[in-house]
Amino acid sequence: MSTDLPVLAEFELIDRIRSRLAHRDDVVLGIGDDGAIVQPPAGQQLVIAMDTLNSGVHFPHATPVDAIGWKALAVNLSDLAAMGAQPAWCTLSLSLPQADAAWMDAFLDGFLALARMHDVALIGGDTTRGPLSISVAVHGFVRRDAALRRAAARPGDEVWVSGTLGDAAGALALLGATPLEPAASAPTGDAATLGELQVRLDRPTPRVALGRELAALAHACIDVSDGLLADLAHIACASAVAIEIELSALPASDALRATFDSERVSELQATGGDDYELCFTAPAANAERIAQLAASCDVRLTRIGRVEAGAGVRAVDAAGRVWEPARTGYAHFA
């Protein structure tokens, strides 16, 4: 990529990472030995999650390198958020076509900027040569038995979602970046509008503070990565309940509405994925306290449906008719 910066050996790459790390008191031994040593707090449980990003599958090949770094950590922090956990440590496995110093620095710019925001320490990893692929594992804490689980939804719960849905999928559709999402004809939005959608694709915001607060207020929770309906189906299945969603209640950004017609907006919101918003169920009695979290966590919160006895996920339009999408979400190997 760069001609004026050196191509590095594996250990020089690792030193480049190590020289930029922030300190945490509970990291007994960080990068440099065969394993890291950390000290979990007494009385807390560890929540562990791992997600991989493959070039051309999880992000378009042309994604800015700092955005790849940001997103690799963001999607993992989003999983911890969906469990109601407070992030603490992470490990990073990099498969790189070549040991390029400029690439490494740009990647770390994005990755470490988000790590700093959430006081997450990078404590180890692996660096190998191969097609561009990034795996991150994150570790976080939750009070004993307080984690949010997919299996905890109950009939009578209301269903909520944070932020807006469909923006990232909208950006992807415009880019024509995957064979599953053919490029929309001509984008109708202006450059600034398209930029707003693109930011949601490249730099998702993990709802960490919200997830922690929800640990005391919500029943089930999931982060929307594959598509709202597909992800809600996981809650419905794990909890052995039915979930009904009102299409017209789904939150959309002005940028999304300015760019696509209303049918396409619904489709992107309900099935697009890559949103990294939290979708959760909670007793109606907690509605007011949840609504207050919108201000304290600085995120929009919208009630989009309810949990009932039965099985499966159903989306209905404003007239109460059941809406059947062409697909419910993204599936690898589909």
Interaction of residue 190 with Mg ion, rule CB under 5 A:
no
33 binds, among ligand ADP, Mg ion, none (CB under 5 to 8 A by kind): ligand ADP
226 assigned to a ligand binding site: yes
Show contacts with Mg ion in window 279-318 (CB under 5 A): none
Q: Which amino acid is at 193?
A: T
Structure tokens at 332: 């690898």
Sites of contact with ligand ADP (CB under 6 A) = 14, 17, 31-34, 92, 94, 122, 124-127
Show contacts with Mg ion in window 106-135 (CB under 5 A): 126
320 assigned to a ligand binding site: no
- Residue whose CB is less far from Mg ion, 8 or 152: 8
Please list the residues that pair with 21 across neighbouring strands: none
79 assigned to a ligand binding site: yes
Give least dist CB 244 to ligand ADP, A: 44
- Residue whose CB is less far from ligand ADP, 17 or 147: 17
Residue nearest to Mg ion (CB): 126
Give least dist CB 118 to ligand ADP, A: 17
Using CA atoms, how far apart are residues 68 and 109, in angstroms rounded to an integer? 10
274 assigned to a ligand binding site: yes
Give least dist CB 135 to ligand ADP, A: 10
317 assigned to a ligand binding site: no
225 assigned to a ligand binding site: yes
Q: Which residues bind Mg ion (CB under 5 A)?
A: 126
Q: Residues annotated as binding site?
A: 34, 51, 58, 79, 125-126, 150, 223, 225-226, 274, 330
Q: Residues annotated as binding site for Mg(2+)?
A: 34, 51, 79, 126, 223, 226
Q: Residues annotated as binding site for ATP?
A: 125-126, 150, 225
